[in-house]
Amino acid sequence: MESEGLKLLKARRSIRSFEDRTIEDNILTEIFETCRWCMSAVNRQPWEFYVIRNKDLIKKIAKECTTGPFAASAPVLIVLVGDKEVQPNWYVHDLCFISLQLALAAWTFGIGTCWIGRINRDNVKDILGLKEKDHLLTILPLGYPKGDIPDPRPRKSLNEFVKYFDLKNKG
Ligand SMILES: Cc1cc2nc3c(=O)[nH]c(=O)nc-3n(C[C@H](O)[C@H](O)[C@H](O)COP(=O)(O)O)c2cc1C
């Protein structure tokens, strides 16, 4: 029997179109509160969330999102930044983990997001006044999905990526 948790993990989709609807403060806070419990190397928690809700600033930053212009339609952008001095070795890993934690926490409220990979990072860092030590990993637009939830993308089958090494090499 599939638990509610597993259903949630499997149902998440990247969302690239958002309703013109505010995300309530208490919901945003609950999502961030859940992010506090994310794993991180040596528990350093090197992340910072820059929360952008001003429409003009959202549009300005979205213009720098080469592969995520849809960010312009989101009511909230989270610019996900890591402090390289706090965790020089694992900041990228830690930021990746918290981006997933954030995406899943948001999804429990019916709020979608999508990772944006190609960004003019230096321009966004300038806009926000970030420093050299600040690594801008991604920008996560948050919002209620507009229209239908996208169909699932194709997935590898288990036998394509799960290798039971112990059984194969028995004896
Ligand atoms: C590291 C990473 C970078 C991604 N970059 C982009 C991007 O730049 N633009 C975009 O539209 N989607 C981006 N995605 C979303 C993926 O395309 C998406 O997760 C994948 O197609 C699977 O779809 P799903 O998230 O709906 O399951 C990225 C996802 C990851 C994990």
Per-residue pLDDT of the chain (171 residues; tens, 9 = 90+): 899 999 999 999 999 999 999 999 999 999 999 999 999 999 999 999 999 999 999 999 999 999 999 999 999 999 999 999 999 999 999 999 999 999 999 999 999 999 999 999 999 999 999 999 999 999 999 999 999 999 999 999 999 999 998 766 665
**Number of Cβ atoms within 10 Å of the Cβ of 21:** 11
Whether 137 is in the pocket of ligand 1, judged by its Cβ within 6 Å, is no
Residue 1 confidence (pLDDT): 81
In this predicted structure, what is the pLDDT of residue 166?
78
Measured between alpha carbons, how far is 146 from 20 in angstroms, rounded to an integer?
A: 8
Q: For ligand 1, say whether the CB of 153 is within 6 Å of any of its atoms.
A: yes
Distances (CA, A) of 77 to 44, 68, 72, 81: 24, 12, 9, 12
Helix, strand, or coil (residue 140): strand
112 alpha carbon – ligand 1 mean position (Å): 12
pTM: 0.96
Task: Say how many Å lie between the CA of residue 98 and the centre of ligand 1.
Answer: 15
118 lines ligand 1 (CB under 6 A): yes
Non-local CB neighbours of 86 within 8 Å, separated by 6+ positions: 44, 45, 46
- Measure 136 CA to ligand 1 centroid, in angstroms: 17
Mutate to test the pocket of ligand 1, among 14, 18, 77 (most ligand atoms within 8 A of CB): 14
Q: What is the pLDDT of residue 170?
A: 61
What was the pLDDT predicted at 165? 82
